[in-house]
Amino acid sequence: MTPGLEHFLTVGALLFCLGLAISLSKRNAIGVLMGVELMLNAVNLTLIAFSRFTVSPNPIAGHTFVVFILTVAAAEAAVALALAVAVYRNRETVDVDRLNLLRS
């Protein structure tokens, strides 16, 4: 069977949801971040697949989008880790379920 758009989209969707599941379930902030990165990857995959398969006046837009997503992902990761470090310095943990000073 020849892989078509649907196949790539399926992989993308599954990857996205796996990423979501990870980010929604992991206790460790870094784990959550990994989930987010997976989601972003899934988005990238989807975009590239669309770029490749769909009729578009300007197919390069998908690629461009991906470039920016990569950039943002990097920035986000950096900031996230910085914040995690900041939290760790104060609380000796990056377990998000123990980050509950702020509630109700």
Instruction: Pick left, alpha or beta for residue 98 (phi over 0 → left; psi -120 to 50 → alpha; otherwise beta).
Output: alpha
Q: How far is the CB of 84 from another protein (least distance, A)?
A: 6
Which tokens go with 43?
């988005």
How many residues make contact with another protein (CB under 8 A)? 101
Judged by CB under 8 A, the chain residues 3 through 42 that form the site for another protein are 3-11, 13-42
Q: How far is the CB of 77 from another protein (least distance, A)?
A: 5
Judged by CB under 8 A, the chain residues 51 through 70 that form the site for another protein are 51-70
Distance between CA atoms of residues 47 and 60, nearest Å: 10
